[in-house]
Amino acid sequence: MAVRTRSPSETRTLGVLLGNLVLPGEVLLLLGGLGTGKTTFVQGLAQGLEVEGQCRSPSFTMMNAHEGRYPLVHVDLYRCSTPQEVVDLGLDQMLDAPNVVAVEWGEKAGPIVTDDYLEVEFEWDDADDDTRLIQFRPFGRWQERMRELGDAVRDWAGKGGV
């Protein structure tokens, strides 16, 4: 599924829609370069999970945990340059527990990922500076969850959202 957003708030709302339906133990890998909207999307995800307060990019700490309807673990692998550094973060514990795990720079998560994850790729769009192309690719169990997400997105688009 591919969605074009035309503002940060639209990307955030897309995150809310996913946050409304994501379940404990589910993993989201967010792909795409700096400034494409990954953190903005996670802020919406946190809102959908009813996390209080702001989610900032965890670039320096690499990992932040938030209490919400379910625990949200927000990871940023930007500063990891080797697979060993990724392994050393100890993310496997986070993945084993009933957390929702969202990983920025998810393309580096190879050493830790399971078979079941939703890949969300963020790209600039030619249209203008505020447009992003966001593509959802489900793997494993996520393939069955896509209809629910698709319905939520279509519903929102129908109300003039996208």
Ligand X SMILES: Nc1ncnc2c1ncn2[C@@H]1O[C@H](COP(=O)(O)OP(=O)(O)O)[C@@H](O)[C@H]1O
Residue 66, binding choice from ligand X, Mg ion, none, Cβ under 5 to 8 Å by partner class: none
What strand order describes the sheet that includes 2-5?
2-5, 132-139, 117-124, 27-31, 100-104, 72-76, 63-66
Q: Output the smallest distance, CB 98 to ligand X, in A.
A: 25
Compose the 85-104 pattern: x for residues touching Mg ion by CB under 5 A, - for all others.
-------------------x
64 contributes a contact to Mg ion by CB under 5 A: no
Q: Is 38 in the site for Mg ion (CB under 5 A)?
A: yes
- In the bound state with ligand X, the residue whose beta carbon lies nearer, of 21 and 34, is 34
Q: How far apart are CA 91 and CA 32, in angstroms?
A: 20
Regarding 132 and contact with Mg ion (CB under 5 A), the answer is no
108: left (phi over 0), alpha (psi -120 to 50) or beta: alpha
Residue with tokens 């992003």: 132
Q: Least Å distance between CB 17 and ligand X?
A: 14
CB of 11 to ligand X, least distance (A): 3
| Of residues 104 and 119, the one with the C-beta less far from ligand X | 104
CB of 154 to ligand X, least distance (A): 19
**CA gap 6, 8 in Å, rounded:** 7
Angle (CA) 41-131-151 rounded to 5° is 55
Please check whether residue 42 is in contact with residue 115, taking contact to mean a CB–CB distance below 8 angstroms. Answer: no
Choosing among Mg ion, ligand X, none, which partner's interface includes residue 40 (Cβ < 5 to 8 Å by kind)?
A: ligand X
